[in-house]
Amino acid sequence: MVTRGFFGKNEKNERVPPGQYLENRFPVLSAEPTPKLDIKDWDLSIIYNNETLAKISWDVFKNLPSTSINKDIHCVTRWTKFDMNWTGVKVSTLFEELDFKPPTEWTMIGASTGYTTNVPLKDLVLENTIISYSYEDEPISPEHGGPVRLIVPHLYFWKSAKWIDKITFLDEDTPGFWENYGYHMYGDPWKEQRYSG
């Protein structure tokens, strides 16, 4: 099932959020060097209170029901790219399949490189938030976050962490890597939530 359009426009029927321009290329934006990762070694840990509640291997993950989304993506550096096609597993599906009950309302998404970004649970389990392993029907390239990255299409793209390997539950909303440098805690492109304060 391909879903589109749900968060894709504002009430004025505009498709490009305020302050954004349309980009046709796919820029690479990384704070850290691109890691060399083998998908066979990939796994995802779900953590709370320093305890690993679940660890999902690639062999298990790849057999979970998949979802494809077609979404416009908005980067805080002002590029917007229309109609990006990503395939992966909805976070909500992952939790259901594991029979996992989220312990708190707040999460920190973590990459094997150390990059982090905070995403509220309510956004993490929305229909179009996926843990993605494929872009335009190809494996995600290493510089774009392969083998596995998060896609949170309705928030600025820094929330879509590349090279993810953990979801950590937190008792309160806590800034991640860019949020510590002043990026907004939530990051709604339609409200231009680029920076805090």
Q: Residue 95 binds which entry of Mo ion, ligand MTE, none, with Cβ cut-offs from 5 to 8 Å by kind?
A: none
Cα dihedral 60/62/67/73 (nearest 10): 110
Cβ nearer to ligand MTE, comparing 103 with 120: 120
Q: Is 75 in the site for Mo ion (CB under 5 A)?
A: yes
Task: Identify the burial level of 97 via C-beta atoms within 10 angstroms of its C-beta, where 0-12 means exposed, 13-18 middle and 19 or more buried.
Answer: middle
Q: How many residues bind ligand MTE, per CB under 6 A?
A: 18
Q: Residue 31 binds which entry of Mo ion, ligand MTE, none, with Cβ cut-offs from 5 to 8 Å by kind?
A: ligand MTE
Evaluate whether 85 touches 68 at the Cβ level (below 8 Å): yes
Min. distance of Cβ 47 from ligand MTE in angstroms?
17
Q: Name the one range near ligand MTE by CB under 6 A: 21-29, 60-68, 96-104, 185-193.
A: 21-29
Q: Residue 44 binds which entry of ligand MTE, Mo ion, none, with Cβ cut-offs from 5 to 8 Å by kind?
A: none
Residues at the interface with Mo ion (CB under 5 A) = 29, 75-76, 157-158
